[in-house]
Amino acid sequence: MEHIFLTLAVVQLVALVTPGPDFFFVSQLAASRSRREAAAGVVGIALGVAVWAALALLGLQLLLHRLAWLERGIAIAGGAYLCWMGLQMLRASWKAKPDAAVPTVDIRDSSPGRALLRGLLTNLANPKAAIYFASIFSAFIGEGVTAGARWGLWAMVTLETALWFGVVAAIFALPAMRRGYVRASRWIDGGAGAIFTLFGLHLILGRRAV
């Protein structure tokens, strides 16, 4: 049983270190906002993973496989949210003054609660997470695995996600990283906005984008 936990932990770590919307969200939040907000954003991401992993254990993938329209609807809704976030970042980047003597970060309407909600929605916006968890759980969890072990694996991937993005947030919250963000905030926000928009379009267009 121990080897299942170890193998799944390694697979999850490989998936986490691959940059995606969650990584860009946490890194930008940590570099531009307070540590409390960054921590709240990480909690939101971990909650999203907990939801997708739980749904995978409960058989969501089987439902999505039978109801293709539901899968497409979730993908379109998630893609639309990521596009909206990306366009908000691009808009902020466009409005930024590149020649400002002392660049500042706009923190209006910013709070840990909002950061947690944005982190949760950023993760939930990618329905491919359900397919990912369904795939790895079906590959490593057989009929002989007890219910307690299954939910132990669920807790492990959730905690591993929180720890990984906690490390990412801690790194990007370092003073040197923050100073770098302030100096290049326009380009960083613009780049992050473009990435979020592309992720969103990929989800919306689905197979046609390939």
> Over the stretch 142-201, which tens digit does the pLDDT of each residue have?
666 787 888 898 999 999 999 999 999 999 999 888 887 767 767 777 777 787 788 778
DSSP-derived 3-state class of residue 92: helix
Q: Which residue type is seen at 92?
A: A
CA dist list (Å): 114 to 22, 50, 61, 117, 127: 15, 19, 30, 5, 22
| Number of separate domains in the chain | 1
What residues contact 162, with CB distance under 8 A and at least 6 apart?
42, 43, 45, 46
Q: Is the pLDDT of residue 136 over 50?
A: yes
pLDDT band at 71 (very low <50, low <70, confident <90, very high): low
Q: Residue 80 half-sphere exposure, CB side, CA atoms within 13 Å?
A: 6
- Mean pLDDT to the nearest integer, 21-30: 89
Q: Which domain, by its residues, includes 8? A: 2-12+20-209
Tens of pLDDT, residues 87-119: 877 776 676 555 444 334 444 456 889 999 999
- pTM reported for the whole predicted model: 0.71
